[in-house]
Amino acid sequence: MNYKLKTWFEILIVSTRLGLTSFGGPIAHLGYFHEEYIRRRKWMDEKSYADLVALCQFLPGPASSQVGIGIGVMRGGVIGGIISFLGFTLPSVIALIIFASLLHTFGIEDAGWINGLKIVAVVVVAHAVLGMAKNLTPDLKRKTIALFTLVVTLLWQTAYTQIGAILLAAVVGFLLFKQQTNMEEKAVSNFHISRRFGYICLSLFFGLLILLPILRNITSIEWIALFDSFYRSGSLVFGGGHVVLPLLEQEFVPAGWLNEQEFLAGYGAAQAVPGPLFTFAAYIGAVINGWQGGLFATFAIFLPAFLLILGTLPFWDALRRNPKIKAALIGVNASVVGILIAALYNPIWTSAIHAPIDFALAAILFSMLVYWKLPPWVVVLSGAIGGLFLSYL
């Protein structure tokens, strides 16, 4: 088999498995990615992964999806990025389109296995935090930066607080580590994207952001209105999928595209399926215009994420090798650890651990993942079964 085809097929298999088993929202996804791509397969070194996560925290859109695209691009070029995205995203898209089609036929209620999957998310994020903290906060200065970010993001829980804390950490990192960067281990990566291609992607991103509202106002075409609403939602959201859900409610419920009951039913389903929460757009599109609407909405809401990550990667790889930028990144990477710990507590821990027996199940699952070295899909399945069992106690 041709080397490129073999690589693309490998990306498809691994990303699809992650798309079928990655429950728990964007922060948990970063934990799954770290375990699969960095620890097990070593497709990217620790520093490159941390830098990519830091970049995606700055960009609007679905951070975990953009990290997955970036890893796919590094492994197999732009086509590898597309394949990585499809593998990770399509399982939840298909599940939510089917859910939308069955919504008026069957009543699908919350179940114990869903709480089990929430407990799995606690375990995955805790594992990721331990691994990243060991590598990214090895000294007291970086531990202090992480602690500051943790406290700030817990006490003031807004997307802007998170961005502000990261920017401040970059400044502090520059001041504290500008003399140390030459001794730091060099990150090795190749994103296979030219700067010319990056310019084209960034131009398309901003061009569509300006052009679509104009087209919407001068035409009465429903598909353009839908594309504009989903594209804007995917372009202007900082903080990941949990933030885009209420934004989509403001965009579609008052306009009459779907009613409040339909929205809330899909909201619950989006929390229960694996993969990125942005696939909630597939549910809304399917309610409005069937499966074609679901696929159309998915394309529209994820297009900004693609254009931004493909547009910034060529410049990012050069910038992060600059000693001043590297010093700032040391602070940013430490702050990412603080953000992960804050997210581990709220919303992941607070939504999953309600009683001692929940903590007991989390401890068992953590041991399965960390000490017994069982595959993540086994831990996910065990968590679902355990949650179902707990619901009958």
Q: Is the peptide bond before 274 cis (omega within 30 degrees of 0)?
A: no
Within this chain, do residues 373 and 326 fall inside the same structural domain, yes or no? Answer: yes
Are residue 135 and residue 200 in the same domain, yes or no? Answer: yes
Is the pLDDT at 186 greater than 60? The verdict is no
pLDDT of residue 181: 55
- 267 with 377, same domain: the answer is yes
Question: How many Å is the Cα radius of gyration of the chain?
Answer: 21
Q: Structural domain of residue 162, as residue ranges?
A: 112-182+190-392
Whether residues 154 and 245 share a domain: the answer is: yes
Return the pLDDT at 201.
94
Higher pLDDT: 276 or 262? It is 276
Q: Which two tokens stand for residue 374?
A: 């069982």
Q: Round to whole Å and give the CA distance between 90 and 282.
A: 10
Looking at the structure, tell me whether residues 14 and 117 fall in a common domain: no
pLDDT of residue 24 exceeding 90, the answer is no
Q: Indicate whether 263 and 301 sit together in one domain.
A: yes
Same domain, 368 and 304: yes
In a domain, 106, yes or no: no
Q: Are residues 305 and 384 in the same domain?
A: yes
Give the global pTM. Answer: 0.73
- Do 198 and 58 fall within a single domain? no
- pLDDT single digits (tens) 196-249: 999 999 999 999 988 998 998 888 888 999 999 899 888 876 555 655 766 677
Q: Does any domain span residue 104? A: no
Structure tokens at 67: 């990290």
Band the pLDDT of 298: cuts 50, 70, 90: very high
pLDDT of residue 258: 84
Residues 229, 148: one domain? yes
Residue 96, domain member (yes or no) = no
By the 8 A CB rule, do 130 and 337 touch? no
Q: 69 with 149, same domain?
A: no
Domain annotation covers residue 20: yes
Q: Per 3-state DSSP, what percentage of the chain is helix, strand, and coil (rounded to 5)?
A: 80, 0, 20
Tell whether 91 is covered by a domain.
Answer: no
Q: Which of 36, 69, 86 is the last residue of a domain?
A: 86
- Neighbouring C-alpha atoms within 13 Å toward the C-beta of 354: 8
For residue 41, pLDDT over 70 is answered with: yes
Q: Per the domain annotation, does 102 fall within a domain? A: no
> What is the mean pLDDT of the segment spanning 151-164?
79
CA dist., res. 374 & res. 135, Å (int): 23
**Last residue in a domain, options 69, 86, 103:** 86
What's the pLDDT score for residue 336? 79
| pLDDT exceeds 90 at position 282 | yes
Q: Which of 128-132, 198-202, 249-253 is most confident?
A: 198-202
Q: How many domains does the chain have?
A: 2
Is the peptide bond between 138 and the residue preceding it cis, with omega within 30 degrees of 0?
no
Looking at the predicted structure, is the pLDDT value of residue 300 above 80?
A: yes
Residue percentage of the chain with pLDDT more than 90: 33
Apex 186 CA angle, 53 and 376, nearest 5: 40
Both structure tokens of 290: 């069937």
Least confident of 30-39, 183-192, 376-385: 183-192
Cβ atoms of residues 102 and 285 within 8 Å? no
pLDDT at 386: 92
The string of pLDDT tens digits covering residues 70-125 is: 999 989 889 999 999 999 999 999 999 998 888 756 655 556 777 787 788 788 77
Residue 95, in any domain of the structure? no
CA distances to 48, 146, 159, 355, 375 from 238, rounded to whole Å, are: 22, 20, 6, 32, 32
Is residue 186 classed as helix, strand or coil in its secondary structure?
Answer: coil
Residue 149 lies in a domain: yes
- State whether 251 and 127 are in the same domain: yes
Which position has the higher pLDDT, 360 or 259? 360
